[in-house]
Every structure is written in C-alpha cells, then in structure tokens.
Amino acid sequence: MTLSFTSSLSVDAKLAWYDIAGSLAHARMLGSTGIVPREESESMVQGLLQLLERLEAGQLDLSEELEDVHTNVEDMLTKAVGDAGRRLHTARSRNDQVSTDLRMFVRDAILEIVALLIDVQEILTDRAEEERATMMPGFTHLQHAQPVSVGFHLMAHVFRLQRDAERFLDAYKRVNQSPLGAGALAGTGHPIDREMTAQALGFDRPTDNAMDSVSDRDFVLEFAFACAQTMVHLSSMGEELVIWTSPEFGFAEMSDAFATGSSIMPQKKNPDVAELVRGRSSLTIGNLMQLLVLMKGLPLSYNRDLQEDKGAVFSCYETLSACLFVLGPMYHSLTLCRERMAVACAQGFLNATDLADHLVQRGMPFRQAHEVVGAVVRHCIERGRTLEELSVEELRGFSPLFDPSSLEHIRLEACLDRRGSLGGTSPVQVQEQISAARARAEGQRALCYGEIERLEKVWSKLRAER
C-alpha cells in the first residue's frame, strides 16, 4: 500500500476545525479525571487553542506526508508542546474521533440548510400572498385541469420545503449524540468521563454502545436522504420554471441574473440556473446511493471502507446549500406574465368540473353529470367554442337542469373563489395556508437559531476555559 492510496487528507481536511475542538474537550477531560497530569493537560489545551487560532487565520498547513487530518493535528500539537502532545490520544481511537468530528460537521450542516430552507419559504410565502388571487391553470399530467391561483401553487412548494426542514430537524436529534470515548470498538479501561466531553462539545448525550458508535453511519444516511429528498423538490421547482419561461407557456420571465444567452442564437434566454438546480439533484441522489451501497455489506465494527463516506456527505451539503442559496433570489426576481396565465385559463375547459358540480347540486348523480358535461365539452371542441360562450338554450339541449345561473356558476373567477374547502385554492383559503405556514416557519426558525446560538456559547466556553 502507498500513502497516496490510503490517504484521506484531501477530503477530511474539511474536518480540521472539528478535530481540534474535539481534541480540546478530550484533553481537558484527561486532566480532569487524572488520566494525565493536570499540567500536561493544560499544555495540550494551550497548544490546541493556538492551532485553532492558526486554522481560523488560514495559517495552518497540513502535511500530505501524514495520511489524515487527525494525525496532522496530533503531530502539530506534539511539535508545539513536546511530549505532552503524545498523550492526547490516550483513551481515544481514530474510530471514535472521526465519528465525533463527522457528527459535529453534519450537525452544523443541518442547521445551515434549515436556515436556508426557512429563507426560501419566506420568499415564496411573500410572493404567494401577493398572488393569492392571480389565476393560472392547474395541471395534472401536464394537462389543463382546474383553475388555481399562483399563490396556491407557490404554497404547495412552501409546504414541501417545510416538510424537508422538519426532516432535517428530526434527524438532528439522532446526529447530536457523542461517540467520543467509545475507543476503537469496546470502550476503554481508563476512567474517562464521556458525559463531560459530550457536554463540552454541545452534544445532548453520549452514544449508548461503543461498537455501534464507531461502526454505524445511519446518521450520515439520514442526512444524505434528507438532502436528496430536498433536492428532488428543488429539481421539480427548477423543471417548472424551465416550463413556465418557455415561449409555449410564457407564464414567467427569468431575471437576467439567473439566465444566459446562447453562444450562437442572439434571441435566446436560457433558464440555466433552474436547469442546473434540476441537474444537480442527480449528485445528491448519487451520493445517497453511494452511501447505501458502502454500508450494506459491512460487518461490525469499524471497517476502512468508512473512510469513503465523507466525500459524499460534503457533496450533499455543498450541493444543496448552493442550490438553496440561489433559489430564493431566483423566485424573488421572477416576473410573472399574468395576462398570459389568464389567457391560458380561458382555454382547456378548466371549468368543466364546476359545471358538473352545478348539475350535482341540482340533484343529478355525479357520474351522470360527468357524462353530460363531457358531451358539452365535445360539442364545444367541434365548434371551436368555450363553455362560457354557450347560450342557456344550448346548455338545456344537454340537460333541462341548466338555467341562467349555470353560466355564472362557471365563470372562472367564481370557480376559484368557490374552492374554499380546507386546503383549497380560494383566496381566503390561500391566506389561511399562508398564516399556517408562517407560524410553522417561525417555529422552525426558533429551533434552528436557538440551537445555533447555543452552539456558539458552547464554542465560546470551550475556548475560554483554562
């Protein structure tokens, strides 16, 4: 084996900050429990604090002659403080060390992603409120179905993203457990204090089983799934914007900041950012598949295969956060073509279901009403007319239940206002959805930013203690 093959430094260098933080907690615990002399513990702490300052100043150079970030930190500490640095690895293995580092990274990644999801929700909700009465065709199978409002349509995306944020916040509870002190796989004979290190690093509690702690990566799989699921939603949104901004639809125009021209066709305005969001969903889905396959055949406990998990985790985080960062501004700057949407609503017989419901309200069974209105629609198609253009006499040729109120019943604005059932598209119901979504978003915001603030205090305390 060669170092170039076994080294993970090119990937796990991203964990340097977390590795130093974890080492600080471990060094203090070693001194507090008497596992190492207090003065040597303090020497390690001072050396690690200096490494942390150098890292944050961009002045910490990792050596490629050492195979990972963990070995680099210990080597630099030993060079800085002498033999005391050699005691840092007492009662610790790289197995529990890397799991601890990775959990701290995923923990921060979750909080950042949730904060971005909340930002996107807020932009979509604000736009939905502005457009709660703006009519557009609703689609099933990409065919005109029923009239809806743009606000209603946007709120569908908001509730998707809220569930995505909920998944991340729920996963956070299982991520936020400390493996530090699990050792290689079986714990240690030293009188360590795992509660102390867990608390010092802001974890809720230590993990329960040492073998499970170093070998499983279900917290990574859960994070990767949440990222992939969210990217599936973002991909759907990207695809929709590609369709909406096409000349055939013409429902919206993309801001120049999120579109590019063609290299050869001067008239083109390509929705490149939306397409890239759609395309990058493949990366997170691929990362999830990689991690599932990586884990599926591993016996307990730790196996070197797990070295290959971090690249996929980092890719999931970087891809999703980048897409969320551009998605909100892209929707904020989107220009809606309301007149084109209104014209589209007048086509495709979006009010046919309302006409059938009108007959049902007058006593006709729905299946019979469905057949009657189907015949009316065929009549209109053959003559190039819309339902609203028919006279009452023409309608009564299909059923005597039709009368002058029938035409008022199928007016598109009336169709929109009528759908006032819970979760419906009427402007009143959309406003209710907006209120509910904002309340939930505030709850998510309180959890997310409350935890961010708590961890900031944890890190301040970890630095300040002597």
Residue 269 pLDDT exceeds 90: no
* Bond preceding residue 282 cis, omega within 30 of 0: no
Average pLDDT, the chain: 95
| CA–CA dist 70, 312 (Å, integer) | 19
How far apart CA 291 and CA 308 sit, in angstroms, is 8
Residue 122 has pLDDT above 90, yes or no: yes
Confidence of residue 2 (pLDDT cuts 50, 70, 90): confident
Fold (topology level) of 352-410:
Ribonucleotide Reductase Protein R1; domain 1 (1.10.40)
Cα 356 to Cα 145, 333, 372, 390, 404: the distances in Å are 14, 39, 8, 15, 15
Question: Looking at residue 260, what is its pLDDT?
Answer: 83
Identify the pLDDT of residue 229.
98
Domain 3-87 carries which CATH code?
1.10.275.10
Kindly state the average pLDDT of the residues 42-64.
96
Using one digit for the tens of pLDDT, what is the confidence trace for 316-330?
999 999 999 999 999
Please indicate whether residue 333 is annotated as part of the active site: no
pLDDT of the residue at 266: 56
pLDDT of residue 118: 98
Query: 3-state DSSP call for residue 92?
Result: coil
Predicted confidence band of residue 347 (pLDDT cuts 50, 70, 90):
confident
Express each pLDDT in 9-37 by its tens digit.
999 999 999 999 999 999 999 999 999 99
Residue tagged active-site, from 10, 63, 246, 262: 262
311: nearest Cα among 8, 2, 5, 4 = 8
Q: How deeply is 377 buried, as exposed, middle or buried, from its count of CB atoms within 10 A (0-12, 13-18, 19+)?
A: middle
Question: 94-343+433-464, what's its fold?
Answer: Fumarase C; Chain A, domain 2 (1.20.200)
**pLDDT tens digits, one per residue of 202-218:** 999 999 999 999 999 99
Q: What is the mean pLDDT of residues 370-384?
A: 93
Q: How confident is the model at residue 265 (pLDDT cuts 50, 70, 90)?
A: low
409 is catalytic: no
Q: Domain extents for the chain?
A: 3-87, 94-343+433-464, 352-410
- Rounded CA-CA distance 363/368 in Å is 10
Please tell me whether the overall predicted TM-score, pTM, comes out greater than 0.85 for this model.
yes
Q: Tell me the mean pLDDT in the region 146-163.
A: 97
Work out the angle at residue 456's Cα, subtended by the Cα atoms of residues 450 and 460, and round it to the nearest 5 degrees.
145
Given a cut of 60, whether residue 331 has pLDDT beyond it is yes
Q: Does residue 109 have a pLDDT over 90?
A: yes
Residue 1 scores a pLDDT above 60: no
> pLDDT per residue over 380-433, tens digit each?
999 999 888 999 999 999 999 999 999 888 899 999 999 999 999 999 999 999
